């Protein structure tokens, strides 16, 4: 009884394996070629100019004249990862929370400040640091309270 069950199970397995064998073999070959083209892409390096986004600007303060609006960064990845459409949303974000006004503040540019797509690594920035200075806006006179 036990031997008959085993043979029956093997027959079912063999039928599943050999049914549409040509299609199964073709799909295996196509998936291998697709995997090969994705894995075989060489690593490349490129230099891109990315915009600088300043967040948490204190109320009553503004960025001083000459504050950098863009930075040059060297990025590494595959040709697909470094394509222009893939890097369209890449940017450098600097948090101005706690930066005192009227005093220059230097930010070291690091990978944590960059919004990059998957598969792209930050190598270095030129310049490696950005100096930011906030100025206080002139106070608006409160004409309504004097009436």
Q: What does the pLDDT read at residue 107?
A: 92
| Cα–Cα separations (whole angstroms), residue 131 to 6, 44, 69, 85, 105 | 76, 30, 11, 30, 6
Residue pair 106/129 in contact (Cβ under 8 Å)? The answer is yes
The structure's pTM equals 0.65
Question: What residue spans define the domains of the chain?
Answer: 2-39, 44-136
Residue pair 72/49 in contact (Cβ under 8 Å)? The answer is yes
Residue 115 has pLDDT above 70, yes or no: yes
- Cβ within 8 Å of residue 51, ≥6 positions away: 69, 70, 91, 92
pLDDT, tens digit, 9 for 90 and up, residues 13-60: 888 888 888 998 999 999 999 888 777 778 889 999 999 999 998 888
Of residues 115, 41, 116, the one with CA closest to residue 78: 41
Section 115-142 average pLDDT: 87
Topology (CATH level 3) of domain 44-136:
RNA Polymerase Alpha Subunit; Chain A, domain 2 (2.170.120)
Strands 70-77 vs 44-55: parallel, antiparallel or unpaired? antiparallel
* The residue to which tokens 């009227």 are assigned: 102
């Amino acid at each position: 009884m036990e031997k008959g069950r085993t043979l029956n199970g093997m027959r079912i397995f063999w039928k599943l394996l050999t049914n549409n064998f040509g299609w199964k073999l073709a799909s295996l070959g196509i998936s291998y070629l697709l995997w090969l083209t994705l894995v075989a892409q060489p690593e490349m390096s490129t230099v891109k100019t990315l915009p600088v986004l300043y967040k948490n600007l204190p109320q009553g303060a503004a960025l001083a004249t000459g504050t950098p609006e863009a930075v040059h960064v060297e990025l590494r990845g595959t040709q697909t990862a470094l394509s222009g459409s893939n890097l369209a949303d890449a940017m450098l974000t600097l948090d101005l929370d706690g930066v005192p006004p009227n005093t220059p503040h230097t930010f070291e540019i690091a990978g944590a400040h960059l919004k990059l797509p998957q598969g792209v690594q930050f190598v270095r920035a030129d310049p490696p640091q950005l100096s930011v200075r906030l100025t206080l806006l002139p106070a608006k006179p409160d004409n309504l309270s004097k009436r």
